């Protein structure tokens, strides 16, 4: 059939004004990009700007200084070797509310790393600090999923950045800054370093920051020893740890552990059977494991009231007094908060000697309403080996051994101060065979700090006239009026200077009465000064810290190289004082302090027996003992006996020293008298006359004391009192070390 090729007739155009409408022209269909071209252009511009902004940020933004992590410091006793002080052997832990011990990556067991990555950031080793897929997943979970999911949008790197560099505010600008810093951090540090830092920073509840503290807090083991169920539990604590503590909510703890274990199976870190076994471990098991072994307790009890010292050891031995003093010294050395720097502090605290000291004090002063006591022992190297600061630190935090440095004010030492005057007297060239009149009382005008115009009137303890005594005899009997003459000879200022040289750190007013121990000093002061005699004039400031290491093991202080010793008096002067002080124990007021080994010491009792002291030493160890009431009051009688330095303090000293020095090698002190001038002084109540007699011969008397026979004299004492007893005539043996009755300090 033929095809009609004739075109259709053209429709005529409507004439203008005819009212007819022209047919609509056919419309061309526009594409998608054309319709959305403006939005696409805007998005492209914004994308370019964003990329440029990120590039600029990554090349201009610098990581701010990281906050120094608060780390727990450890205090260890003398038996812990260098480099070994830590959780397992510390006598105390020092920290604030945060307990943290920084560990290295090599200390992290693989099972813990795998558990944390499975729970918090499965793509940690693949992303560059920000995980877009994780962010998208978090958005979907927020819109449709459960809020109890184990994984969020933030990577481990972002979590660390937020914790260390930023705040927790929920703003877009903070989130953007977090992302930028996370990428920057990844460019700066290795992945393992970031993961290690994160695990040392994250909070696990119960005041434990970081995995080492958490492992110790919940399981009592180091992080290296964590098992699979323990690691899964810790990983599950990271998000809201207090809500998943197994001791509070075991069902939530079980759910979180199960979630972590399932994630570890999905990541092929463990098998399904391993997860099942770990999931079956009860929180406080009493049954046996499938292999027949007894299961260990998984979760330690929660400690609600945490001590400032952590789980302190040797608490019954008064170690809290030590630890608080150590804390103060660290702050003095390194500034406030020094104890939060992860230091390892090695001390001279000797558990054995400390027990001897506590037992000696408490067995004698054992009445709850009676006087208390303090004891400090210093060895020949300057180490404080024992320190009894009081009965109960929690009841009264004043350390009685330290005086004003321990929160108190110190106490007057009585006649234990006299050896310092003796040292100055001998150093000035006088022999201990010099003789002084010893009347019941005497008087001197007030000078060097005493009230102007007021007479100083010291009295002997027994108010007796001892005639004339040599200096060594007056020391054995603690005769106050003789020592009044000695201080008049050397001057009070000279006495104060000598005491400071020997080791007394308390402020001293150089008055006449200082010779009778009227100024307040500490028990440590007295032990320090007497140790100088024991060390033949060489003084080392006593120390309780022997070594300090930082958190990385670097040595910040080592007493073996950093502590200096000084020869403050001539060895002969120290030996002469020691020779005289041996007589105090052998035949004077301190006979109760007698030991099998040679020893030297001095008694001291203040006015009305408000304070009683005994301080003494052997070749290797010096100890000072004080007893009294916290608020000074008279203690003329205790347990039916008179109180004096030669009674209860001497007994405490002997009980301690006999045990503390039991294993020491035999040692004898040099016996000497280096003084070349013999002073003969006879005076009444208001007048004095002095004659210096040259020495001719020196002999050694039985018992090791030296004596000198003068060849001539232009003035001799009016009378002499030969020694035939171990105490002064008229002095009861039970109170031979006392000095009651003499104002402003007695013997």
HEC secondary structure over 128-161: CCCCHHHHHHHHHHHHCCCCCCCCCCCCHHHHHH
Give residue 389's pLDDT band: very low, low, confident or very high (50, 70, 90): very high
pLDDT of residue 288: 56
Is the pLDDT at 349 greater than 60? The verdict is yes
Q: Which two tokens stand for residue 36?
A: 């959305």
Predicted confidence at residue 154, as pLDDT, reads: 86
Name the pLDDT band for 115 (thresholds 50, 70, 90): very high
Question: Does the pLDDT value for residue 436 go beyond 80?
Answer: yes
Q: What is the mean pLDDT of residues 700-710?
A: 35
pLDDT value at position 455? 82
Range from 52-61, 349-358, 506-515 carrying the lowest mean pLDDT: 52-61
Model confidence at 130: pLDDT above 80: yes
Give the pairing of strands 688-694 and 677-683: antiparallel
pLDDT score for 493: 95
Q: So what's the pLDDT on residue 166?
A: 78
How large is the average pLDDT for residues 598-624?
96
Lowest mean pLDDT among 412-426, 449-463, 464-478: 449-463
Residue 590 and residue 601 in contact, taking contact as beta carbons nearer than 8 Å: yes
Residue 702 pLDDT level (bands cut at 50, 70, 90): very low
The mean of the pLDDT values for the chain is: 83
Q: What is the mean pLDDT of residues 216-222?
A: 93
**pLDDT beyond 60 at 356:** yes
**Which whole number is the average pLDDT over 406-422?**
95
What pLDDT sits at residue 177? Answer: 82
User: Residue 52: its pLDDT value, please?
Assistant: 53
pLDDT of residue 736 exceeding 50: no
Inform me whether the pLDDT recorded for 694 exceeds 50: no
Q: Which of 149-158, 461-470, 517-526 has the highest mean pLDDT?
A: 517-526
- Percent of the chain exceeding pLDDT 70 equals 75
Helix (H, G, I), strand (E, B) or coil at 271: coil
* Per-residue model confidence as pLDDT tens digits over 235-271: 999 999 999 999 999 999 999 999 999 999 999 999 9
DSSP string, 531-576: HHHHTTTEE---BSEEEEE-TTS-EEEEHHHH---EE-S-HHHHHH
pLDDT over threshold 60, residue 39:
yes
DSSP-derived pairing of the beta strands 641-642 and 384-388: unpaired
Are the C-beta atoms of residues 299 and 283 closer than 8 Å to each other? yes
The set of residues, in sequence order, having a beta carbon less than 8 Å from that of 577 and lying 6+ positions away, is: 419, 422, 423, 426, 533
* CATH top class, domain 414-735: alpha beta
Contacts of 345 (CB under 8 A, 6+ apart): 73, 74, 75, 76, 85, 94, 326, 330, 545, 547, 548
Identify whether the C-beta of residue 743 lies closer than 8 Å to the C-beta of residue 481: no
% of the chain beyond a pLDDT of 90 = 62
* 93-107, 190-204, 313-327, 337-351: least confident range: 93-107
In this structure, are residues 723 and 497 in contact, taking their beta carbons and an 8 Å threshold? no
Q: For residues 668 and 575, what is the distance between their CA atoms, to the nearest angstrom?
A: 11
Residue with more model confidence, 308 or 695: 308
Return the higher-pLDDT residue of 537 and 37. 537
Give the mean pLDDT of 526-540: 98
pLDDT grade for 19, boundaries at 50, 70 and 90: low
C-alpha span between 734 and 470 (Å, rounded): 24
Q: Exposed, middle or buried by CB within 10 Å (0-12, 13-18, 19+), for 102?
A: buried
Query: Which residues, in sequence order, are CB contacts of 108 under 8 Å at separation 6+?
Result: 196, 199, 211, 223
**CA distances for 71 relative to 52, 237, 238, 309, 387, angstroms:** 40, 20, 19, 14, 28
* H or E element that contains 707: strand 706-709
pLDDT-based confidence at 354, cuts 50/70/90?
very high
User: In which band, very low, low, confident or very high, does the pLDDT at 695 lie, cut at 50, 70 and 90?
Assistant: very low
Over 90: is that where the pLDDT of 121 sits? Answer: yes
As its CATH architecture, domain 96-279 has: Orthogonal Bundle (1.10)
Backbone phi, then psi, for 400, in 5-degree steps?
-65, -20
Confidence band, pLDDT 50/70/90 cuts, at residue 728: very low
The pLDDT value recorded for residue 690 is 44
Q: Two tokens at 212?
A: 């080492």
Look up tokens 């000093």; give the residue: 521
**What pTM did the predictor assign?**
0.81
Q: How confident is the model at residue 175 (pLDDT cuts 50, 70, 90)?
A: confident
The pLDDT assigned to 243 comes to 93
If one compares 337 and 713, the residue with the highest pLDDT of the two is: 337
- pLDDT attached to residue 426: 98
For residue 128, name the pLDDT band (cuts at 50, 70, 90). confident
Side-chain half-sphere of 708: how many Cα atoms within 13 Å?
27
Of 290-304, 408-422, 448-462, least confident by mean pLDDT is 290-304
Residue 147 in this model has a pLDDT that exceeds 60: no
Say if CB 111 and CB 230 are below 8 A apart: no
Residue 563 has pLDDT above 60, yes or no: yes
Most confidently modeled range among 295-299, 361-365, 448-452: 361-365
In this predicted structure, the answer to whether residue 740 has a pLDDT above a threshold of 60 is no
């Amino acid at each position: 059939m033929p095809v009609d090729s004739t075109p259709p007739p053209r429709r005529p155009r409507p004439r203008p004004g005819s009212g007819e409408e022209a047919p609509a022209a056919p419309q061309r269909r526009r594409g998608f990009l054309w319709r959305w071209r403006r939005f696409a252009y805007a998005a492209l511009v914004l994308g370019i700007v964003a990329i440029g902004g990120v590039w600029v940020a990554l090349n201009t933004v610098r990581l701010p200084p990281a906050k120094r992590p608060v780390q727990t410091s450890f205090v260890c006793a003398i038996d812990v070797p260098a480099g070994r002080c830590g959780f397992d052997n510390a006598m105390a832990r020092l920290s604030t509310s945060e307990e943290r011990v920084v560990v290295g990556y090599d200390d992290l067991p693989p099972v813990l790393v795998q558990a944390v990555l499975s729970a918090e950031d499965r793509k940690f080793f693949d992303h560059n600090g920000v995980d877009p897929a994780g962010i998208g997943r978090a958005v979907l979970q927020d819109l449709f999923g459960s809020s109890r999911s184990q994984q969020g949008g933030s990577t481990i790197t972002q979590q660390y950045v937020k914790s260390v560099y930023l705040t927790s505010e929920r703003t877009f600008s903070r989130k953007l800054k977090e992302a930028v810093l996370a990428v920057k951090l990844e460019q700066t540090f290795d992945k393992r370093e970031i993961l290690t830092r994160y695990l040392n920073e994250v909070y696990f509840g119960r005041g434990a920051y970081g995995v080492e503290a958490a492992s110790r807090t919940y399981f009592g083991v180091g992080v290296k020893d964590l098992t699979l169920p323990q690691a899964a539990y810790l990983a599950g604590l990271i998000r809201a740890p207090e809500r998943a503590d197994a001791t509070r909510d075991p069902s939530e703890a079980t759910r979180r552990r199960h979630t972590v274990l399932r994630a570890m199976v999905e990541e092929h870190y463990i098998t399904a059977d391993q997860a099942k076994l770990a999931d079956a471990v009860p929180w406080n098991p009493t049954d046996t494991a499938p292999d027949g072994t007894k299961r260990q307790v998984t979760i330690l009890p929660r400690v609600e009231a945490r001590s400032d010292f952590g789980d302190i050891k040797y608490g019954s031995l008064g170690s809290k007094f030590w630890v608080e003093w150590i804390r103060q010294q660290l702050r003095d050395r390194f500034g406030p908060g020094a104890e939060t720097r992860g230091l390892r502090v090695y001390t001279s605290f000797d558990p054995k000697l400390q027990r001897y000291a506590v037992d000696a004090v408490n067995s004698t002063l054992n009445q709850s309403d009676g006087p208390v006591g303090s004891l400090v022992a210093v060895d020949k190297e300057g180490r404080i080996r024992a320190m009894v600061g009081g009965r109960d630190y929690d009841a009264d935090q004043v350390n009685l051994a330290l005086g004003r440095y321990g929160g108190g004010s110190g106490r007057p030492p009585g006649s234990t101060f006299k050896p310092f005057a003796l040292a100055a007297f001998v150093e000035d060239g006088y022999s201990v065979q010099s003789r002084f009149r010893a009347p019941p009382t005497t008087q001197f005008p007030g000078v060097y700090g005493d009230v102007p115009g007021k007479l100083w009137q010291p009295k002997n303890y027994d108010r007796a006239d001892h005639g004339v005594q040599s200096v060594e005899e007056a020391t054995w009997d603690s005769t106050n009026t003789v020592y009044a003459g000695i201080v008049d000879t050397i001057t009070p200022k000279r006495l104060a200077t000598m005491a400071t040289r020997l080791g007394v750190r308390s402020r001293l007013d150089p008055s006449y009465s200082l010779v009778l121990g009227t100024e307040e000093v500490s028990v440590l002061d007295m032990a320090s000064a007497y140790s100088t005699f024991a060390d033949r004039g060489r003084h080392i400031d006593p120390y309780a810290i022997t070594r300090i290491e930082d958190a990385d093991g670097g040595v910040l202080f080592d007493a073996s190289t950093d502590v200096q010793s000084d020869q403050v008096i001539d060895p002969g002067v120290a030996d002469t004082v020691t020779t005289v002080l041996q007589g105090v124990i052998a035949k004077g007021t301190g006979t109760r302090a007698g030991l099998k080994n040679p020893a030297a010491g001095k008694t001291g009792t203040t006015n009305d027996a408000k304070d009683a002291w005994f301080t003494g030493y052997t070749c290797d160890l010096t100890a000072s003992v004080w007893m009294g009431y916290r608020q000074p009051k008279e203690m003329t009688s205790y347990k039916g006996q008179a109180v004096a330095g030669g009674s209860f303090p001497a007994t405490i000293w002997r009980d301690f020293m006999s045990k503390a020095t039991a294993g020491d090698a035999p040692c004898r002190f040099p016996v000497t008298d280096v003084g070349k001038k013999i002073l003969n002084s006879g005076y009444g109540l208001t007048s004095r006359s002095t004659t210096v007699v040259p020495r001719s011969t020196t002999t050694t008397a039985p018992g090791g004391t030296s004596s000198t026979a003068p060849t001539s004299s232009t003035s001799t004492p009016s009378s002499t009192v030969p020694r035939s007893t171990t105490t002064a005539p008229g002095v009861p043996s039970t109170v031979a070390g006392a000095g009651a009755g003499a104002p402003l300090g007695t013997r």
